[in-house]
Amino acid sequence: MAARRIDIDDPEVDMDDAQRLLYRGELFTGEVTEYLGDALVSLDEYVDGVQDGPSLEWYKDGTLRSETMVRKGRACGESKAWHQNGTLASLRVFDEDGLTFRENYEWDEDGRPTKSWRLDGGS
């Protein structure tokens, strides 16, 4: 069975008081897209109204902008972002439970490092 897919700008999309995603008044499970004109700019997976699964963003020209794994509403594992020219812009590492931010690295558009941080104090 194909995953249900809705557009975040659909007038029947809402959030409840616990910030869970609702579609037609029900907690939503499936893929949520966002478009800028005809260009897909984001795709997120939800389970029972909570973001859970891959989270992807693209620039309007189709270049990948970011990729993050989300579990129960929290980033986990590696989260990457790219400059519009395709050069890696950042790499962030979270514990698998999403509670601890472990590492952060950033690069400029030419690929030169601009930031390096690790929880254990290493660099």
User: Collapsing DSSP states into helix, strand and coil, what is residue 27?
Assistant: strand
Q: In the predicted model, what is the mean pLDDT of the chain?
A: 94
pLDDT at 64: 97
Q: How far apart are CA 104 and CA 108, in angstroms?
A: 14
% the chain with pLDDT above 90: 90
Give 1-53 pLDDT, tens digit per residue.
Answer: 557 999 999 999 999 999 999 999 999 999 999 999 999 999 999 999 999 99
Does the pLDDT of residue 79 top 60, yes or no?
A: yes
pLDDT at 96: 86
Model confidence band, residue 99 (pLDDT cutoffs 50, 70, 90): confident
Does the pLDDT of residue 123 top 60, yes or no?
A: no
Q: How far apart are CA 9 and CA 97, in angstroms?
A: 30
